Amino acid sequence: MQRLPTGEVVITPRNFKLLEELEHSEKGMGDMSISYGLVDSSDIFMGEWNGGILGPHGTQHDSRFYELRITVPESYPAVPPRVRFVSRINMSCVDGDTGEIIYGKVPATRNWNRNMGMEQVLISLRAEMASDANRRTRQPPEGSTF
């Protein structure tokens, strides 16, 4: 969404927003402790993405790499993407049975607005790993999955 000098608000279409996010990720322009990209580069709807988070230093997540699956709904970016951990993880904002994030417990999804993107969600999840509620939580063996 952007406001023109005339005051008119222009809403960026879903695919333009996703192409912008893909380019941002592929060029390594963001936070280097996270990654995201299309599952299938020929998917013209850009609905399924892989994500990755490098665990924060000084926590139980230190040096671990967590794999995630991101599903982008048709109403994106008006609503946040659906995010599920593939790598097994114990966190207060993740459903322990499915690996799905609990939207009300992740600041980026709880306070979502259409100017945000996948990068903000992944950064928010990484920050949650370092939070007092999660930094010392014992983790499953590395390599285990949901």
Q: Give the C-alpha distances (Å, rounded to integers) separating 15 from 43, 47, 75, 124, 126.
A: 11, 10, 11, 23, 26
Q: How confident is the model over 99-114, as pLDDT tens digits?
A: 999 999 999 999 999 9
Q: Which of the listed CATH numbers 3.50.80.10, 3.10.110.10, 3.40.50.300, 3.40.50.1370 matches domain 6-129?
A: 3.10.110.10
- The CA distance from 72 to 50, in Å, is 11
pLDDT in tens, 24-69: 999 888 889 999 999 999 999 999 999 999 999 999 999 999 999 9
> What phi, psi does 69 have (nearest 5°)?
-120, 130
pTM (predicted TM-score): 0.91
Percentage of the chain beyond pLDDT 90 is 86
- Residue 74: its pLDDT value, please? 96
Closest CA to 83 of 110, 59, 44, 61: 110
| Residues pairing with 67 in the sheet | 52
